[in-house]
Amino acid sequence: MRRILLSCATLGVLMLPAAASAGPGGHANGYLVVQRANGDGGVHGRPVVTLVIVQGFVLGRVSQQARVDIYHLPSVSGEGKPQAFGDVSQHPLRWRGRPGVEYSGIGFHFRAIDGAYRVVVRGAGVYLFAGGNGSVTLRGSSVYPRSDGRYSIDGELAKSMPTNLLTRQIGRG
């Protein structure tokens, strides 16, 4: 119970700057929640989540085995740096000339705060919470479509991960 309260308090503190920036004439921030996501092919398979977030944040946890690639995109605000904690290895990589880092392992946490990021997640047991403006592409398992996790975008009711590729906007930016 304490862990849930601590997580809620932390998310509340992180959301305050995002809420303040959505004042009159500003862009309304959206949110993405992914729970227990599983894809086909493990860490070398198709991405379960591909997220491009601008002026926002991404917090995640992996309970099974996964690979998370985070690329720092050009941004007018913030110069944050992606981080991961736990049983995780990291390797530098590049995507379209942009620097990034690959985190892989079992049972680790990751975050990318204060900036614009492209986050690509492959594997199983993925929990993710993101806020800001951007787009997301989701794809669950075609082998186990009923047990591949759930997602919610901008406060909608949670749905089962899609079997086919689904691309949506987050927020109204």
Confidence (pLDDT) at 144: 77
Distances (CA, A) of 91 to 6, 38, 84, 132: 30, 23, 12, 26
Going by pLDDT thresholds of 50, 70 and 90, the confidence category of residue 54 is confident
Q: Is 151 exposed, middle or buried (0-12, 13-18, 19+ CB in 10 A)?
A: buried
For the chain, the domain total comes to: 1
In the block, residue with structure tokens 């530098």: 92
Taking the C-alpha atoms of residue 25 and residue 58, their distance in angstroms, rounded to an integer, is 24
The average confidence (pLDDT) of the chain is: 83
Does the predicted TM-score (pTM) go above 0.85?
Answer: no
Confidence (pLDDT) at 97: 87
Confidence (pLDDT) at 86: 94
| Owning domain of residue 27 | 2-170
Q: What is the pLDDT of residues 79-117, one digit of tens each?
A: 778 999 998 999 999 998 888 999 999 999 999 998 889
